[in-house]
Amino acid sequence: MTTAEETTRPAGPPEGGGIVARLSTLDRFLAVWILLAMAVGLGLGRLIPGLNGILSKVEVGGISLPIALGLLIMMYPVLAKVRYDRLDAVTGDRRLMASSLVINWIVGPAVMFALAWIFLPDLPEYRTGLIIVGLARCIAMVIIWNDLACGDREAAAVLVALNSVFQVLAFGLLGWFYLDLLPGWLGLGDGAALDISMWEIAANVVIFLGIPLAAGYLTRRLGERKMGRTAYEQKFLPRIGPWALYGLLFTIVVLFALQGKTITSQPWDVARIALPLLVYFALMWFGTFALGKAIGLAYDRTATLAFTAAGNNFELAIAVAIATFGVTSGQALSGVVGPLIEVPVLVALVYVSLAWRRKFTAAQPGS
């Protein structure tokens, strides 16, 4: 029998023939739609003169309004599905909370710093851009990757909120450490400095997480009060669920349209930047997934831990690179290549995660 929780969760990639038959066209060919959205965005950015400039001007305080709109549409349905009365069970899981903090704010930036210097020792601008990507921990798109992989929604909400707090407090400090202080200590040459205030980072957090989180929370509270939990989850949530994927596809089209010409005109540079990113995503996701299993987390929280560790806040990374080094800088190009690699890789990891789900669950005690 299908539970209410299962019926309200957006369908991920198929795990069996029966499930495939019940999936909508959007869900069944999700990877295809995402690749098409990337291709459409790149094509629009390359073929339409001035599109990049037009989209770039539609912003407030350095935040792209089209991208913000897409992310809000994407995140709202998922956050409306979170059972906020269960968050205490997540915050009480010390293994999950401690692991997330260590992986995101100690391991992740250090891994990206090492890979940037290993793969790009002769390209300081691209190297700096990659390090900035590593410092910007994910607070937005990871919500939907986690949901597609059937991760723990409540855990994702808590870990994303936790990352948001640390992002405001630690981003500037870690930028100084990895871009200025540490290279000098290691004799790697002159460092770089970031020109971004704590308030700018806080604004990024409020726009990309605060607004959809508040909307999702209020929708859940008011919806359950008016309809009851069963009707809310079985009737209302399925109606808004598809909008998460519509928002995702719209965001991808806009994001790649903004930088389509830049990406397609410098293919060799993109390839140089892509290689350490591929290694980074693989190390972070597989290593964190193995850690979750080793410390005894259930599949859903292990998946959440892995996706929050592997994802990055490309919106913040691109904004910081452009504001500090300029829109045509190598640092900005590295930020742009980030989602070019992250989106298809994390989609593939959703499939990998679901393929391991049954084996992982079967290995749990008492399963």
pLDDT over 60 (residue 366): no
- The Cα 223–Cα 218 span in angstroms is 8
- The Cα 138–Cα 89 span in angstroms is 22
Q: Which residues pair with 60 in a beta bridge?
A: 63
Closest CA to 177 of 192, 165, 189: 192
- Model confidence over 238-267: pLDDT tens digits? 888 888 888 888 888 887 787 677 677 778
- The Cα 365–Cα 298 span in angstroms is 10
Token output for 142 = 């990871």
Residue 137, helix vs strand vs coil: strand
Q: Which residues pair with 366 in a beta bridge?
A: none
**For residues 325 and 331, is the Cβ–Cβ distance under 8 A?**
yes
pLDDT over 50 (residue 353): yes
Chain centroid, CA 170 distance in Å: 18
- The Cα 308–Cα 288 span in angstroms is 9
- The Cα 105–Cα 293 span in angstroms is 20
Mean predicted confidence (pLDDT) in 201-220: 81
- What pLDDT does 52 receive? 67
Closest CA to 315 of 59, 7, 29, 68: 68
**For residues 210 and 219, is the Cβ–Cβ distance under 8 A?**
no
**For residues 115 and 275, is the Cβ–Cβ distance under 8 A?**
no
Q: Which residues pair with 59 in a beta bridge?
A: 64
Mean predicted confidence (pLDDT) in 297-318: 89
Q: Which pLDDT band holds residue 3 (cuts at 50, 70, 90)?
A: very low
- The Cα 215–Cα 220 span in angstroms is 9
The amino acid at 138: C
What is the torsional sign of CA 202, 139, 181, 169? positive
The amino acid at 200: E
Residue 168 φ then ψ, to 5°? -65, -45
- What pLDDT does 56 receive? 67
The amino acid at 358: R
Give the chain's domains with CATH numbers. Answer: 25-357 (1.20.1530.20)
Share of the chain above pLDDT 90, in %: 26
How does strand 59-60 pair with strand 63-64? antiparallel
Chain centroid, CA 259 distance in Å: 18
Token output for 79 = 């956050």
Q: Which pLDDT band holds residue 15 (cuts at 50, 70, 90)?
A: very low
- Model confidence over 104-139: pLDDT tens digits? 999 999 999 999 999 998 888 899 999 999 998 887
- Model confidence over 26-76: pLDDT tens digits? 666 777 888 888 888 888 877 877 776 777 677 766 667 787 788 788 878
Token output for 61 = 């305080």
Residue 309, helix vs strand vs coil: helix
pLDDT over 90 (residue 89): no
- What pLDDT does 61 receive? 60
- What pLDDT does 363 receive? 58
- What pLDDT does 277 receive? 95
Q: Which pLDDT band holds residue 192 (cuts at 50, 70, 90)?
A: low
